[in-house]
């Protein structure tokens, strides 16, 4: 019982961290607000977002292995597969902003200028897509928690 509670806590903490940092990216990634400090901050915020995403995945897998319901219940539940698919799609989408932030920071440190407005807008659009898809995962989670999708 204690292990289940600690696993749930760790998973929830990782999820909240991920949500906070994707929200921070969405807030910071605006052409009108972009300056050298924001470019540096975006790269750091994105790094924490990535670490939180790995923690979400690790704690989620830990819950399926060592949690009270066990692997048989989780891995046969189609809702888990929906959650994982959404998570993978979000992860794939996150590659583009990450690479852009790193490129922007490298150019800035090399004495270059800031990225163009169109590129910043495009990057923010991808970040917003990630954030909106992320909001769908708890929908599957609450149905799973209430026994839907199980046999």
Q: Which two tokens stand for residue 114?
A: 């800031």
Residue 56's nearest CA partner among 147, 137, 145, 129 is 137
64 belongs to a structural domain: yes
**Intervals of the chain under pLDDT 70:** 151
pLDDT of the residue at 151 = 65
pLDDT of the residue at 91 = 97
150 belongs to a structural domain: no
Torsion angles phi and psi, residue 146, rounded to 5: -100, 15
**Measured distance CA(98)–CA(93) in Å, rounded:** 9
The CATH number for 76's domain is: 1.20.120
151 belongs to a structural domain: no
Angle between helices 78-109 and 36-66 (to 10 degrees): 150
Do the beta carbons of residue 103 and residue 136 sit within 8 Å? no
pLDDT of the residue at 27 = 97
Q: Which two tokens stand for residue 52?
A: 């939180």
pLDDT of the residue at 1 = 73
Structural domain total, the chain: 1
> What residues contact residue 49 under an 8 Å CB cut-off, 6+ apart?
18, 21, 22, 24, 25, 94
pLDDT of the residue at 42 = 98
pLDDT of the residue at 8 = 93
pLDDT of the residue at 108 = 95
pLDDT of the residue at 122 = 98
**Measured distance CA(14)–CA(18) in Å, rounded:** 6
User: What does DSSP assign to residue 42?
Assistant: H
Do the beta carbons of residue 25 and residue 45 sit within 8 Å? yes
Alpha-carbon distances of 54 from 68, 130, 141, rounded to whole Å: 22, 15, 18
99 belongs to a structural domain: yes
The range of the structural domain enclosing residue 121 comes to 2-145
């Amino acid at each position: 019982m204690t292990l289940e509670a600690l696993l749930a806590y760790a998973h929830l903490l990782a999820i909240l961290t991920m949500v906070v940092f994707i929200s921070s990216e969405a807030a910071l990634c605006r052409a009108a607000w972009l300056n050298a400090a924001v470019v540096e901050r975006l790269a750091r915020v994105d790094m924490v977002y990535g670490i939180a995403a790995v923690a979400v995945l690790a704690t989620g897998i830990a819950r399926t292995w060592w949690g009270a319901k066990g692997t048989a219940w989780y891995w046969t539940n189609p809702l888990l597969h929906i959650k994982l698919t959404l998570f993978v799609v979000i992860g794939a989408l996150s590659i583009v902003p990450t690479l852009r932030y790193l490129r922007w920071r490298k150019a800035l440190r090399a004495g270059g200028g800031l990225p163009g407005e169109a590129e910043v807008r495009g990057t923010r659009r991808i970040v917003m897509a990630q954030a909106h898809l992320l909001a769908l995962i708890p929908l599957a989670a609450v149905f799973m928690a209430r026994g839907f999708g199980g046999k």
